Amino acid sequence: MGELIVTITTWDKPNYELFDGESQNYRIQEYLIDEPGMFCRNGENETFFDQNMSRKDGVRILFNLRIDDGRQFVIGDKDQIEDLWIQSKNEQQIRQNDVIKLGKKVLKVLNISNENNLHLTHYQNVVIQIQNVETSFLESQNMCRICLEHTCNTSNPLLSLCRCCGSTKYVHYECVKTWLYGKMQAKQSQYCTEINAKSVRCEICQSFYPSMVYTGDNVLGLYNLDNLKYHVVLEDVENQIIMVLNFGDQTTLTVGRGHESNIKISEITISRTHLALVIRNNKLYIEDKNSKFGTLIKLQKARRIEKNETLFLQSGRSRIMIKHKEKRKRCALLCNFLE
């Protein structure tokens, strides 16, 4: 299984997880690891605990190292507490539910597809899920607060979607769908449509609208953006913005702060051209463009450290380099020689 050279560089001051190579305020510790265990942070210091040592309370696990059935080291699993990010140095495949970080911006990959139909109803993590709503088919009594009409039928019922009551209680299914469609398209450029998930709520009572509604026997979706072509859907986790990327005939889109990037994100910690997204054989790849603070992918499940692989990781104030190397057979050779 070889051994690991683990180099941990920790910045003295809070660096907001942005690693500035020009700063001098850091210390470096190096370890040679040939057994499973875990790296922990105890106040200012990192310590390696092998399996026989018991960990004190209040000590945080930076990451742990196991040995798998194939006698290889594996990093990160269910005990992982602190966010552990892998720095993407070479082109790397990205899959649905991966979380990437560029500068301070965190983006979650909601979908990768070459279909032409986008139903935001799929993204129930963003907005409230299916809800049973009060539905009215009584034309004489109730009216839609958008069009002020009383007419309704099973395909276009009047819905009570929020806490509003009285004359603002009901909206037509078709009316609210059109209104939402207009509201959600916050920004549109050639390659990207941004949809603000926060705007999916009633303007009067502020309650969020469900993404789908039950109306007796029917299930109706409220956010259908059928006419948007797309390949990749990202979520800006902090701002609840959905980014629908449209590759068109291109196979590569660049992302960065500068105008020269296809997809522009105004965030000071993002480089002018930070990364490229590449579609090849219906798969999505990410490639860092020598950005200042790097492109990181969150480690969300255990990952094997391959033979002679070098991994670059980040966790809190630390940068971690793990280098695998075959164990030198000096001892065995020496023993043979002595015999």
Q: How far is CA 328 from CA 47, 249, 309, 323, 333, in A?
A: 25, 51, 16, 15, 10
CB closer to Zn ion, 171 vs 192: 171
**Member of 33, 164, 186, 302 binding Zn ion (CB under 5 A):** 164
Q: Which stretch binds Zn ion (CB under 5 A): 62-70, 138-146, 246-254, 306-314?
A: 138-146
| Binding flag, residue 165, Zn ion (CB under 5 A) | no
Of residues 141 through 160, those in contact with Zn ion by CB under 5 A are 144, 146-147
Which residues have CB under 8 Å from 54's CB, separation 6+? none
41 and 320 Cβ atoms separated by less than 8 Å: no
Reduced DSSP (H G I as helix, E B as strand, rest coil) percent helix, strand, coil of the chain, to 5? 10, 40, 50
Q: How far is CA 141 from CA 23, 137, 138, in A?
A: 70, 9, 6
Amino acid identity of residue 323, one-letter, is K
Find the shortest distance in angstroms from Cβ 171 to Zn ion. Answer: 6
- How many residues make contact with Zn ion (CB under 5 A)? 10
> Sign of torsion, CA 220 225 226 232?
negative
CB closer to Zn ion, 143 vs 305: 143
Find the shortest distance in angstroms from Cβ 197 to Zn ion. Answer: 17
Spatial separation of the C-alpha atoms in residues 241 and 180, rounded to whole Å:
15
CB closer to Zn ion, 101 vs 201: 201
CB closer to Zn ion, 162 vs 242: 162
DSSP 8-class letter at 237 = T
Q: Which stretch binds Zn ion (CB under 5 A): 65-73, 170-178, 222-230, 252-260?
A: 170-178
CB closer to Zn ion, 144 vs 296: 144
Task: Tell me how crowded residue 127 is: count the other CB atoms within 10 A of its CB.
Answer: 21
| Binding flag, residue 162, Zn ion (CB under 5 A) | yes
44-67: burial string, b at 16+ Cβ within 10 Å, e else: eebbbbeeeeeeeeeeebbbbbbe
CB closer to Zn ion, 73 vs 173: 173
Find the shortest distance in angstroms from Cβ 215 to Zn ion. Answer: 15
Find the shortest distance in angstroms from Cβ 151 to Zn ion. Answer: 9
Find the shortest distance in angstroms from Cβ 163 to Zn ion. Answer: 5
| Binding flag, residue 204, Zn ion (CB under 5 A) | yes
Q: Rule CB under 5 A: which residues touch Zn ion? A: 144, 146-147, 162, 164, 172, 175, 202, 204-205
